[in-house]
């Protein structure tokens, strides 16, 4: 269990951590989804926790780069970029992130290097301090092709490592034809149909795993979205609403 820490006192917002590999569209989602929420009448704040980004494309209400950047840590400690990211996230785990009293949603942008979040304790310490929280785990549909299984497994690692409800989100649907998008939806709904007979061992294993993973990522909870056009944002908001309700704190 994660104990609450002093960072979160008074924060009754839904804290949404946007995670995913580099280029999956995290920063664009933070920018456009927060603007969408604001248009829907919510009080939204954005936080950039990526110390390596040159320009996230939006003006964050709190930006870690005002305290350090990957470059400044590289210089200060003589580290390479990967070591500097790990050091940055370890520092962040001990820092107080400003409390935005009165916000309904706080959307956090994160670095593309997933190691500190999925394979080290820093992410859990950064995220776990917030009471109402969830992760949006983004994948780039154009890069995933037929590897839905690998994507789910990463999202599952986030769920277990961070002890946080994790929504697997397939981004960049605008780059797919309607037929391709429907094909992905079909796989999400019925992963077993992926397999063709006779089954090889690998196919059989992936089919079984996908079947199990449906418990963690039920098809209704795997939205296909576009951070660019806003397609699927309504679905994301509904999911946030359901998570908030499940936290028992809806006012």
Ligand X SMILES: Nc1nc2c(ncn2[C@@H]2O[C@H](COP(=O)(O)OP(=O)(O)O)[C@@H](O)[C@H]2O)c(=O)[nH]1
Question: Which residues contact ligand X (rule: CB under 6 A)?
Answer: 20, 22-28, 112, 171-172, 174-175, 226-228
Report how far residue 94's alpha carbon sits from residue 129's, in angstroms, rounded to the nearest whole number. 11
User: Which residue lies nearer to ligand X by CB, 91 or 228?
Assistant: 228
User: Which residue lies nearer to Mg ion by CB, 26 or 105?
Assistant: 26
Report how far residue 129's alpha carbon sits from residue 228's, in angstroms, rounded to the nearest whole number. 30
Q: How far is the CB of 11 from ligand X (least distance, A)?
A: 24
Q: How far is the CB of 25 from ligand X (least distance, A)?
A: 3
User: Which residue lies nearer to ligand X by CB, 99 or 174?
Assistant: 174
Q: How far is the CB of 207 from ligand X (least distance, A)?
A: 29
Which of Mg ion, ligand X, none interacts with 226 (beta carbon under 5 to 8 A by kind)? ligand X
Q: How far is the CB of 109 from Mg ion (least distance, A)?
A: 6
**Residue of 11, 27, 164, 226 that binds Mg ion (CB under 5 A):** 27
Which of 153, 137, 166 is closest to 26 using CA atoms? 137
């Amino acid at each position: 269990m994660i104990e609450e820490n002093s960072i979160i006192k008074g924060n009754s917002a839904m804290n949404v951590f946007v995670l995913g590999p580099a280029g999956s569209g995290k920063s664009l989602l933070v920018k456009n989804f927060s603007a969408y929420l604001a248009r829907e009448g919510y009080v939204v704040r954005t936080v950039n926790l990526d110390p390596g980004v040159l320009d996230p494309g939006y003006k964050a209400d709190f930006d870690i780069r005002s305290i350090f950047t990957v470059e400044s840590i590289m210089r200060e400690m003589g580290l390479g970029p990967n070591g500097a990211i790990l050091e940055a996230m370890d520092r962040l785990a001990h820092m107080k992130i400003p409390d935005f009293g009165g916000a309904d949603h706080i959307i956090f942008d994160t670095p593309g290097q997933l190691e500190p979040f999925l394979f080290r304790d820093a992410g859990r310490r950064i995220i776990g301090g917030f009471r109402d929280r969830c992760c949006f785990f983004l994948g780039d549909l154009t890069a995933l092709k037929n590897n839905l299984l690998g994507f789910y497994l990463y999202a599952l690692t986030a769920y277990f490592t961070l002890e946080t409800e994790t929504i697997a989100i397939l981004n960049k649907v605008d780059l797919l034809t309607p037929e391709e998008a429907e094909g992905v939806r079909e796989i999400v709904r019925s992963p077993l149909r992926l397999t063709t007979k006779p089954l090889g061992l690998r196919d059989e294993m992936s089919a079984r795993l996908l079947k199990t993973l449906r418990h963690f990522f039920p098809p209704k909870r795997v939205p296909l979205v576009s951070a660019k056009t806003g397609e699927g944002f309504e679905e994301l908001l509904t999911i946030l609403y359901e998570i908030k309700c499940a936290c028992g704190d809806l006012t």
